[in-house]
Structure 1
Amino acid sequence: MSKQVEQEFKTLLPATTAEQLLTQITFQPPFTQTNRYFDTVNHQLKVHHFGLRTREFADHAEQTLKVPAGPNRKLIEYTDAIKGADLVAGGAVEAQLSQAGIALADLQLIGQATTTRYLAPQPAGLLTLDHTTYANGHDDWELEMEYTDIAVAQAFWQQLATDFAINLLPPENKIQRAIDNVNKSQG
Structure 2
Amino acid sequence: MSKNLEIEFKNMVTEEEFQLLLKTFQITKKNFFSQTNHYFDTKNYSLKKLGAALRIRELSEKYELTLKKPAVNGLWEINDTISQSEADLLMKNSIFPSGEVKDELLQMHINLNEFILFGSLRTERAEIEYENGLLVFDHSFYKGIEDFEIEYETSNRDEGEKKFYKLLDKLNIKIQYADNKISRLYKVTQGKKDVSP
Tell me the TM-score normalised to structure 2 length: 0.85
- Please state if 1:165 is matched with 2:175: no
Aligned position for 1:133: 141
For residues 56 and 7 of structure 1, the distance between their equivalents in structure 2, rounded to whole angstroms, comes to: 22
Aligned position for 1:46: 48
For residues 67 and 123 of structure 1, the distance between their equivalents in structure 2, rounded to whole angstroms, comes to: 26
Aligned position for 1:116: 124
The CA deviation string for residues 104-131 of structure 1, in whole angstroms up to 9 with x for no partner, is 2211011111001110111231010110
More displaced stretch, 86-95 vs 137-146: 86-95
For residues 182 and 124 of structure 2, the distance between their equivalents in structure 1, rounded to whole angstroms, comes to: 16
Aligned position for 2:194: none
The CA deviation string for residues 115-172 of structure 1, in whole angstroms up to 9 with x for no partner, is 01110111231010110000x2201111111101233322211211112222223322
Aligned position for 2:157: 150
For residues 26 and 67 of structure 1, the distance between their equivalents in structure 2, rounded to whole angstroms, comes to: 34
CA contact (8 A) 1:33 1:58 kept: yes
- Paired residue total: 180
For residues 26 and 55 of structure 2, the distance between their equivalents in structure 1, rounded to whole angstroms, comes to: 29
CA contact (8 A) 1:89 1:104 kept: no
Of Structure 1 and Structure 2, the greater helix share is in: 2
CA contact (8 A) 1:61 1:82 kept: yes
SS in 1 for 2:31: coil
Unaligned runs of 5+ in 1: none
* Percent sequence identity over aligned pairs: 36
Unaligned runs of 5+ in 2: 91-95, 191-197
SS in 2 for 1:167: coil
- C-alpha RMSD of the superposition: 1.7
For residues 104 and 173 of structure 2, the distance between their equivalents in structure 1, rounded to whole angstroms, comes to: 37
| Distance apart, 1:39 and its partner CA | 0.4
